[in-house]
């Protein structure tokens, strides 16, 4: 099985859980439609896949990790909705479909995001069964830290600040992406390990793996924005440049950017050490797959 096929298999379980996670909750109709619209818009379900994989790597049952996996996707989905708002990146398209606010209006989109973010924490707190309360709380704290003002929200704030600015140095670009994209990808890995009861060292290894593939993923995205095509991206090519965003290719050039991504992937794989078995192999292949997209 290739990494892509395995990720798809994991995603199928996630889709099934996501399809029911907002059901029977007495959510007003219009708001529910707006939340579900973005949640159903697809994507690779990378974050839930990573969470489930790291949980499996450390011996947890899939149902133990599933509420956390789904919560990560709810948080990711809310962040996309808010990032697309006119006051933010003002994107009309997301994954080839009209952005949430183009369909449900700005208020509807803001509230759908707020609702998804809040449900994510409700899902984890109410769905944490089959693991010690302390592990559940640690995983929730880990995900909140990654998603919050020091992590993903902070990364978006810095992205807004840097957009249109000249002379953003590589170090700041790295820090911004480590927050905006890297933090939640990392938390997907660490939370999976935490809910499985992995020890501190294993959680740190998960952290390195997540951080490095998160960086590789972002560099690959920057490259694809230059070299990809609109159909597979689901958004116009060259949109970073049009928006005045500093990118890895704009700072380093295309080929050195690809080399940098490759180095990240090697560090990610090294963090798995000598671990054997299907899941460890999948995580190695997945790391390669992220940069294979651009080479």
Instruction: Check binding of 26 to a second copy (CB under 8 A).
Output: yes
Pick between residue 30 and residue 169 the one whose CB is nearest to a second copy.
30
Whole-angstrom distance, CA of residue 271 vs CA of residue 210: 9
Whole-angstrom distance, CA of residue 178 vs CA of residue 170: 12
Cα angle for residues 53, 58, 59 (degrees, 5° grid): 95
Instruction: Check binding of 125 to a second copy (CB under 8 A).
Output: yes
Give one word for 259, left, alpha or beta, with left for phi > 0 and alpha for psi -120 to 50: alpha
Residue 22 — φ and ψ, nearest 5°?
A: -105, 0
Report the length, in residues, of the chain. 295
Instruction: Check binding of 19 to a second copy (CB under 8 A).
Output: no
Binding piece for a second copy, criterion CB under 8 A, among 122-130, 194-202, 227-235, 243-251:
122-130
* Minimum separation from the CB atom of position 52 to a second copy (A): 21
Residue 287 in tokens: 């790391």
Pick between residue 98 and residue 281 the one whose CB is nearest to a second copy.
98
8 Å CB contact between 112 and 81? yes
* Minimum separation from the CB atom of position 139 to a second copy (A): 8
* Minimum separation from the CB atom of position 55 to a second copy (A): 18
Instruction: Check binding of 117 to a second copy (CB under 8 A).
Output: yes
Out of 51, 140, 196, 294, name the contact with a second copy by CB under 8 A: 140
Distances (CA, A) of 230 to 31, 100, 185: 30, 19, 25
Q: Which of 116, 114, 187 lies closest to 150 in space, CA to CA?
A: 187
Pick between residue 74 and residue 265 the one whose CB is nearest to a second copy.
74
Binding piece for a second copy, criterion CB under 8 A, among 26-34, 185-193, 256-264, 266-274:
26-34
Q: Which of 38, 49, 46, 22 lies closest to 80 in space, CA to CA?
A: 38
Binding-site size for a second copy (CB under 8 A) equals 52
Interface of this chain with a second copy, residues 31 to 60, rule: CB under 8 A: 31-32, 35
Out of 18, 60, 128, 258, name the contact with a second copy by CB under 8 A: 128
Pick between residue 121 and residue 293 the one whose CB is nearest to a second copy.
121
Pick between residue 69 and residue 194 the one whose CB is nearest to a second copy.
194
Interface of this chain with a second copy, residues 96 to 115, rule: CB under 8 A: 105-108, 110-111, 113-115
Whole-angstrom distance, CA of residue 173 vs CA of residue 241: 15
Cα angle for residues 274, 51, 25 (degrees, 5° grid): 165
Whole-angstrom distance, CA of residue 160 vs CA of residue 275: 40
Rg, C-alpha atoms of the chain: 18
* Minimum separation from the CB atom of position 290 to a second copy (A): 26
Binding site for a second copy (CB under 8 A): 22, 25-28, 30-32, 35, 82, 85, 87-88, 105-108, 110-111, 113-119, 121-122, 125-126, 128, 132-134, 136-138, 140-141, 144-145, 147-150, 153-154, 156-158, 160-161
């Amino acid at each position: 099985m290739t990494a892509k096929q395995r990720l798809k298999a994991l995603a199928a379980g996630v889709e099934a859980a996501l399809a029911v996670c907002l059901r029977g909750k007495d959510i007003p109709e219009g708001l529910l439609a707006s939340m579900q619209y973005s949640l159903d818009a697809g994507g690779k379900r990378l974050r839930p896949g990573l969470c489930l994989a790291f949980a499996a790597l450390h011996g947890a049952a899939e149902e133990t990790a599933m509420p956390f996996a789904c919560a990560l996707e709810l948080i990711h989905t809310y962040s996309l909705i808010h990032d697309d708002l006119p006051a933010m990146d003002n994107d009309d398209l997301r994954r080839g479909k009209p952005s949430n606010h183009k369909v449900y209006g700005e208020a509807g989109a803001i509230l759908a995001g707020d609702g998804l973010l809040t449900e994510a924490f409700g899902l984890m707190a109410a769905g944490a069964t089959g693991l010690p309360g302390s592990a559940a709380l640690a995983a929730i704290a880990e995900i909140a830290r990654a998603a919050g003002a020091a992590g993903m929200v902070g990364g978006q704030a810095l992205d807004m600040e840097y957009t249109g600015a000249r002379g953003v140095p590589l170090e700041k670009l790295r820090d911004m992406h480590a927050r905006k994209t890297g933090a939640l990808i990392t938390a997907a890995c660490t939370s999976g390990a935490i809910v499985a009861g992995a020890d501190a060292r294993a959680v740190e290894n998960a952290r390195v793996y997540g951080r490095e593939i998160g960086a590789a993923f972002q560099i690959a995205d920057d490259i694809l924005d230059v070299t990809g095509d609109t159909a597979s991206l689901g958004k116009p090519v060259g949109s970073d440049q049009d928006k005045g965003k500093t990118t890895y290719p704009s700072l380093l050039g295309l080929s050195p950017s690809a080399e940098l991504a490759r180095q990240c992937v090697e560090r990610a794989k090294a963090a798995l050490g000598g671990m054997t078995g299907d899941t460890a192999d999948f995580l190695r292949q997945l790391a390669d797959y992220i940069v294979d997209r651009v080479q």
